[in-house]
Amino acid sequence: MILEINDLHADAEQRNVLKGVNLRVKEGELHVLMGPNGSGKTTLAKSIMGHPQVRITKGEIKADGKVINDLPVNERARLGLFLQFQNPIEIEGLGIVNFLNTARGALNKEKISYKEFMAEIRSRGESLRLREDLIGRSLNYGFSGGEKKKMEMLQMSILKPKLAILDEPDSGLDIDAVKVVAENINDIRKNTNAGVLLITHYSRILNYMEPGFIHVMSEGKIVREGGKELIEQIEREGYQIDGSK
Ligand SMILES: Nc1ncnc2c1ncn2[C@@H]1O[C@H](COP(=O)(O)OP(=O)(O)O)[C@@H](O)[C@H]1O
Ligand SMILES: [Mg+2]
């Protein structure tokens, strides 16, 4: 899938947050979006997925050439878009296996036997070092912050999106878990050729990944772009967002 964002302006709860964002993510590409707190990264992620809190006021979001500005969330998911939330919610009473099975069905994924399905969940859970008993629980219910992030990775592994937006999959994780999550993302990319837009605050996760494109957001716009060398520069100098560089 090619995701294309042209001159996107959007409000979050009546407040103008995005002020002209341009971005293009293609199949197989890994893009990293960085930037200070409150610069609009999560709002951009939500606008791509069609979150009701975000209202587009100008510009367009295209998936494979088709404008999806007004498409409901479930239809975007069916096109192959996936959003990992920065703060995943807990849903008591919604069993994880049941949830994943329903989600697969809603996305018209090929039918597989229960046995195969469980085997896939178990093997994915294992590679994420997710404790096996967690899979028997309600979605994210009583999970630690790190376990919730891993649970979202498990969903992505099972749903195999064409384009995944990962909103700080590394925040709140210890060093070992960051590596596990990074390796999981690499693995999914290799197996499915999905495009990935990875939002992160820290360059740590990027020690285990090879992003082709770095974008830095500030005050609702992408103000700097480059390759991996930009990360080292940001590490050294901070974001230095004055538009003159
Ligand atoms: N639902 C909302 N209601 C009110 N303000 C919001 C909402 N979502 C985001 N904002 C505001 O928009 C700005 C950008 O937020 P966000 O996109 O979460 O930034 P980031 O993810 O880069 O830290 C912030 O000033 C934030 O307070
Ligand atoms: Mg955010």
pLDDT in tens, 95-119: 999 999 999 998 988 889 999 999 9
pLDDT for position 244: 46
Report CA dihedral (237, 239, 240, 244) to the nearest 10 degrees: 120
Best mutation site among 8, 15, 241 for ligand 1 pocket (most ligand atoms within 8 Å of CB): 15
| Whole-angstrom distance, CA of residue 175 vs CA of residue 166 | 18
Q: Is residue 75 predicted with pLDDT exceeding 90? A: yes
* pLDDT bucket at 242, cuts 50 / 70 / 90: low
Query: What average pLDDT does range 182-187 have in this prediction?
Result: 96
Is 14 touching ligand 1 by the criterion CB < 6 Å?
no
In angstroms, what CA-CA distances link 94 with 89, 90, 138, 197? 12, 9, 5, 28
CA neighbor of 92 nearest in space, from 145, 130, 142: 142
Write down all domains in the chain, each with its CATH number in brackets: 23-237 (3.40.50.300)
Give 34 Cα–ligand 2 centroid separation in angstroms.
10
What's the pTM value of the predicted model, to 2 decimals? 0.95
User: Is the beta carbon of 184 within 6 A of some atom in ligand 1?
Assistant: no
pLDDT of 130-169, one tens digit each?
Answer: 999 999 999 999 999 999 999 999 999 999 999 999 999 9
From the list 158, 153, 143, the residue with the least C-alpha distance to 102 is: 158
What pLDDT is recorded for position 108?
Answer: 83
pLDDT at residue 172, as a whole number? 87
Q: Give me ligand 1 centre to Cα 162, in Å.
A: 26
**Distance from the alpha carbon of residue 187 to the mean position of ligand 2, in angstroms:** 25
pLDDT at res. 239: 86
Mean pLDDT of the chain: 94
Q: How far apart are CA 79 and CA 161, in angstroms?
A: 8
pLDDT above 90 (res 203) = no
Q: Whose CA is nearest to atom 18 of ligand 1?
A: 42
Nearest one of 149, 137, 219, 216 to 179, comparing CA atoms: 149
CA–centroid distance, residue 49 to ligand 2 (Å): 14
Determine whether the shortest distance from the Cβ of 39 to ligand 1 is under 6 A. yes
Atom of ligand 1 nearest to the CA of 43: 17
- Please report which residue ranges of 96-174 form alpha helices under DSSP H: 96-106, 114-127, 145-159
Q: Is the pLDDT of residue 245 over 50?
A: no
